[in-house]
Amino acid sequence: MKTSHLAPLLGALLLVAVFDVAGPRGAAQAQEDRPSLTSEITVDLSDVSPSNTVLQNVQAIPELSSLASAIERTGLAGALSGPGPITLFAPVNEAFDLADKEPDELGVDDTERLTHVLQYHVAEGEMGSGDFASGMTLVMLNGEQAELNTSSSDPLQISIDDADIIHTDIESSNGVIHLINLVLNPTEGGHLDTD
C-alpha cells in the first residue's frame, strides 16, 4: 500500500523507470514539463546558514522537503553532514512531483536503487558555479560521471546531464548546494528487477 510518506522514494524510482522504459520520448516529455527558470520556483532561504552542514541546509529549505525525506530514508544523512567538502545537486520538490505524475512501472519500494540515484546527485569536493565549465565531468558519490554544460547563448545557463541548475551557490560548512529541476538519472544500473 502506497502512502504519502513514500512519495519521494516512488518519485525517484518512477523517474528512473520513465527513462528506462520510455526512452528518449519519456525524457523529452519530462524536459517539456519541468520547471525551467528560477522565477518559476520560489525558494525560501531564510533559515539557511553558511555555518549549517549541507544536510542542515537541505532540511532548512522548504522546496527541498522531498529530497530531505528521501535522504533520511536512504541513510545518506551521514555523508551530507560529514566533514566534506561536497557539492550537492539538489532536486526541488517539483522535480519529485514531476516523477510522481508518471505511470507506476515498478510498484516496489527499492531503497537500494533510491540510494544509488541520490548518490548520483553528490560530488566530492566543493564546486561553486564559478568553477563550472562546459563539458566538465564530475565523479559522483556512486562512482559514475555527470556532465556539466553551459548554453552557447547564455553562459550563465548551466545544466548537469539533463537538469537545469536553477539556483546556485548555497554555501554550507561542509560544501555547497545547487538546486536543479529534475531528478538525475544514473547511467548505470540497468532495469530494476521487480521479480
pLDDT tens per residue across span 110-164: 788 888 889 999 999 999 999 998 899 999 999 999 999 987 777 678 999 989 9
Grid coordinates standing for 81? 553532514
Q: What does the pLDDT read at residue 40?
A: 65
Cell of 20: 528506462
Domain ranges of the chain: 4-180
Helix 65-74 crosses helix 93-100 at what angle (to 10 degrees)? 80
Among the listed residues 142, 174, 178, the one whose alpha carbon sits nearest the alpha carbon of residue 16: 142
CA distance 38 to 166: 5
Cβ-Cβ contacts under 8 Å for 130 (sequence gap 6 or more): none
Could you report the average pLDDT of every consecutive run of 10 residues in the chain (195 residues)? Answer: 41 40 37 52 90 98 95 92 96 82 46 88 94 92 92 80 92 97 73 33
- Give the separation between CA 108 and CA 51, rounded to whole angstroms: 38
pLDDT for residue 146: 93
DSSP notation for 37-60: SGGGS----TT--TTS-HHHHHHH
Per the structure block, which three cell numbers stand in for 2? 502506497
Sheet containing strand 175-180, edge to edge, reads 122-124, 86-91, 175-180, 163-172, 158-160, 145-150, 137-139
- What distance separates the 2 farthest-apart alpha carbons in the chain? 47
CATH topology of domain 4-180: FAS1 domain (2.30.180)
